[in-house]
Structure 1
Amino acid sequence: MEFLGTTQVASYCGSRKSCLFPDLPPTSTTKDTYQSYYLPGYRHLCSWRPSLLHKVVSVPPDSDNQFNPSGRPPTILPALRSSLHARYSPRDWHHATAAQLRGSEASRYCAGRMNTDSMRLMQDKDQLTYQMQEDSKRNLGQRMSNIDFWRSELIYELESLLKETQALETAKKRLECAVDELQGPLKVALECLYYREKRREIDLVHDDVEKNLIKEVDVFKECQEILTKLAQKIGQQLDINRDAQHALEQDLADKTSAHFIDEKCFNLRNTSDSIAFYHGVEKIDGTISVPATWAKFSEDNIRNAQHARANSVKLREDAEVALETTSEEMWNQYVSTNLAFNHRIAEVADAKNKLQAQLAKILQEIFQTEDTIMLLERSIKAKEYPLKVAQTRLVGRTNRPNMELCRDAPQLQLVTEVYTIDDTLQTLKQRLQEARDTLQMLMVNKSKLEHDISVKANSFFIDRKCMDMRKVFPSPPRLIGYT
């Protein structure tokens, strides 16, 4: 039985270009919603589909009256067109089967290669991931070891710096105590100088005591200035030490925080609960140093602390030497001033004793001179009557008459007696005047001695009072800053 008409895919129908239905772009929704998946490395193979059915389905409904202008009338009934066009030829069937087999074989081969390569890739990537994780862990461990090393160095240097700072503060307190202790002796020395200004007249001399007191004041002020400047230097060094201490503490705190963070990162595992995705974090680089500058930063901090410690040690040694030197110098000057005071007091006491002895002698001589004056006055008074007698006799004998006025022996004797008595009176009066002058001189000397003795007594009292004030002097331990 022969069918009316034939399919357009038959061998006797000619090429596929002579089909009655023109090729139109596909409009089905199937192609728009489904995309074929091609395996990597597998060449593009179109899924097999009957070309005739595709063309029939793709033809719009209003294209039934459009025929290929070949001049051949259609031999297919319109009612059976759809069913006739859905049929395939054996060639199409064999071609589709062979294509399916080839495509399946190629897909299977590609799938096998892909599976093998995927297993090998997964093994390599697993190994690489594990190795990278181990390297990161090892680097974190090495980093923690480096941090521990620098932490130990910082802790040792910080402890040494703290001890040195404490010792330097003790030295500064000793210097300040020594400066405070000098206020008392300096005030005493100045009071002694001012008090000795109350000496009077000749005793107001620039003696060894005053020279030593002035030198003592200069020594005390100079020692105070030296110790004060040294205390100021130590104060500045303490500020430098505190800055270095702050840098060490800050660096140590940072390294402790970094060690805690790295230790936390080191202990992280794939099964940890605190892990999460942080996309893009690897693109952010917030670091501010490299290992060289990181190590140099701590090394510089330690070097600065060591330099500060070295300066502190030198300042402490200078302070110790200054305290010893100044205390010895002040003590020697104090002893020298006391020796000068004792020597001066002895000299004043000796002079006062000599003046008192001389005053006693003057008083004795005044008493004797007064007795001599009294005796001279009596002697002069006693010579008046013999002179009166002799002069009366001469006057009486001038009344002798005429030749009886003879210059006889009695006349000559009386004249000689008058002259002798008169000369005696003149001599006694002169001697009386000399005795009175001597008495006056003795009285003046007595007054001077008494005044000089009072001056010496005043000087002696002042120096003794100064010595009493100087009894309180700091002991050598207090002079070197120990309380």
Structure 2
Amino acid sequence: MDTTRLCREYEDRMVRNQAAVGKRLGERLGDINFWKSELNNELDLLISETNALNEAKRLLEKNLAETENPLHIAQECLYNREKRQSIDLVHDCPEKELIREVDLIKRCQERLRNTVDRANVQLGLNRAAQHELERDSGDKFIAQNLDLTTQQLRMTSRGVAYHDGVHRIDNSISVPETWAKYTNDNIQRSQAERAASKQMRNEIETVMNNCNNEMWQEWNTVNTALCHRIQETTDARNKLQNHLNKTLQEIYDMEKNIELIKKAIQEKERAMQVSQTRLDTRLRRPNVELCRDAPHNQLVEEVSQLIDTVDHLQHRLREAENALQALLRTKGALEQDLSIKNNSLFIDREKCLAMRKTFPIAPRLVTFN
């Protein structure tokens, strides 16, 4: 009877112990399942955030590459404007704005490059956090399967055998508190990296929008300065053209005047020849007929007047020819200035402003969801 009672007590204790172990395994499986679910949820959120940051970085790099277009255009405009000539080769407002635009674009490029580098660092941190989550989730998946298998073992299960001394082996690395804390730390780290990643995306959006707006405003400022300069040059060119037209008219009038003076001189010289021939002919009168009479006196006075007239006309002719030379020099200077102004207009209007009709970067705000 004592043996029967003892066997029954040991049987009852064995059943209770197995039930208790099963209950503890069930509780452990619940804990593992809870934290595994938390890890997977956080992992999905982190992967989505990493993909969003990757897309933001792609747009940022695309925007950085597109800044080469306005930079090339601004440098090309500066290069073209160096071909202005003479007095027009001046450090004017458009050139100052173009230099300012080149500096601004280079500063924006540097800001964009720095942001790309910081985004790469944040992506690395995201991947590191993702790796920890995946490893922790994988470990819990294995532990869950092992504990589930353990829970389902019965005395009639296959594979049940003796493992002598196994109860004396304790290679535990954690206790329930440190085990939960490890997973919680991984989740908190991931949450922190997700928050930093979202902040990084906001910074990317801000940097891109600010740089695009600054370059767009400076682009318009340069175009406005070029338009004003073109208008000033056009006005100066028109004034030069009007002055040249007047000078050409004056040259034409002066040439006509010179022709008139020369013709008058020729007429007076012909008249002088007639008068002097008359005097010479009358000198052949014989004896007392060689009389200083009224015709003689009149001829002498006529010759003197003609000599004075020719001298005066010759003086006027020299003055007119000198004036014509001055007009021709003025014409040459005006034509040179006009050529300079036309060259400047061609550079500013056809070479510079023509390539700046449209901003090579779409002036749109970039927003990441």
1:220 equivalent in structure 2: 105
For residue 349 of structure 1, what is the aligned residue in structure 2?
234
Larger mean CA deviation between 341-350 and 456-465 belongs to 341-350
CA distance in 1, matches of 2:112, 2:228: 32
- Measure the CA separation in 2 of the matches of 1:192 and 1:178: 22
Q: Which moved more, 1:452-461 or 1:472-481?
A: 472-481
Instruction: Determine helix, strand or coil for the equivalent of 2:67.
Output: helix
Q: How does 1:11-26 map to 2 (within 5 A)?
A: none
Q: Which residue of 2 aligns with 1:313?
A: 198
Mean CA deviation greater in 422-431 or 165-174: 422-431
- State the Cα deviation string for residues 365-388 of structure 1 (Å, max 9, x = none): 001111222223334444556778
Residue 262 of structure 1 is matched in structure 2 by 147
RMSD: 3.1
Measure the CA separation in 2 of the matches of 1:481 and 1:452. 52
1:423 CA displacement: 5.5
- Could you give the per-residue CA deviations for residues 95-118 of structure 1, whole angstroms, max 9, x where no partner exists? xxxxxxxxxxxxxxxxxxxx52x4
Counterparts of 1:339 and 1:219, CA distance in 2: 17
Aligned equivalent of 2:346 = 461
Identify if the C-alpha distance between structure 1 residues 434 and 199 changes in structure 2 by more than 3 Å, giving closer, same or farther. same
Residue 73 of structure 2, aligned match among 184, 188, 197? 188
Q: Deviations over 1:314-358 (max 9, x none)?
A: 110011111111111111122222222222222222322222222
User: Could you tell me which amino acid in structure 1 is paired with residue 224 of structure 2?
Assistant: L
| Matched-pair contact (CA < 8 Å) for 2:94–2:226 | yes
Distance 1:423 1:133 in 2: 153
Q: What are the within-5 Å matches in structure 2 for residues 133-152 of structure 1? A: 133-152=18-37
The equivalent residue for 1:97 is: none
In structure 2, the gaps of 5 or more residues are 284-290
Whether the aligned pair in 1 keeps the contact of 2:234 and 2:345 (CA below 8 Å) is yes
Corresponding residue SS for 1:272 = coil
Q: Which of 27, 37, 40 is the matching residue for 1:155?
A: 40
Residue equivalent to 1:276: 161
Identity in percent:
45
Q: Give the match's secondary structure for 2:82.
A: helix
Among 351, 357, 362, the residue aligned to 1:471: 357
Residue 441 of structure 1 pairs with residue 326 of structure 2: yes
Aligned partner of 1:452 in structure 2 is 337
Asked if residue 127 in structure 1 is aligned to residue 12 in structure 2, the reply is yes
Aligned ranges for residues 203-242 of structure 1 at < 5 Å?
203-242=88-127
Aligned residue pairs total: 360
**Counterpart position of 2:58:** 173
- TM value normalised by structure 1: 0.67
In our comparison, the structure showing a higher alpha carbon Rg is 1
Letter in 2 for 1:172: K
Mapped contact 1:178–1:478 kept (Cα < 8 A): no
Following the alignment from structure 2 to structure 1, what is the Cα–Cα distance between the partners of residues 147 and 29? 7
Is the Cα contact below 8 Å between 1:197 and 1:204 reproduced in 2?
A: yes
Contact in 2 for aligned 1:327/1:480 (Cα 8 Å): no
- The answer for unaligned runs of 5 or more in structure 1 is 1-114, 398-404
Give yes or no for contact 1:199–1:455 (8 Å, CA) kept in 2.
yes
CA distance in structure 2 between the partners assigned to 1:374 and 1:340 by the alignment: 50
Deviation at 1:429, TM superposition (A): 3.3
Matches within 5 A, 1:58-137: 115-116=1-2, 118-137=3-22
Query: What is the distance in 1 between the residues matched to 2:366 and 2:86?
Result: 41
1:369 aligned onto 2:257: no
Mapped contact 2:66–2:361 kept (Cα < 8 A): no
* 1:410 positional shift: 11
**2:216·2:359 contact (CA, 8 Å) conserved in 1?**
no
Measured in 1, the distance between the counterparts of 2:224 and 2:363 equals 22
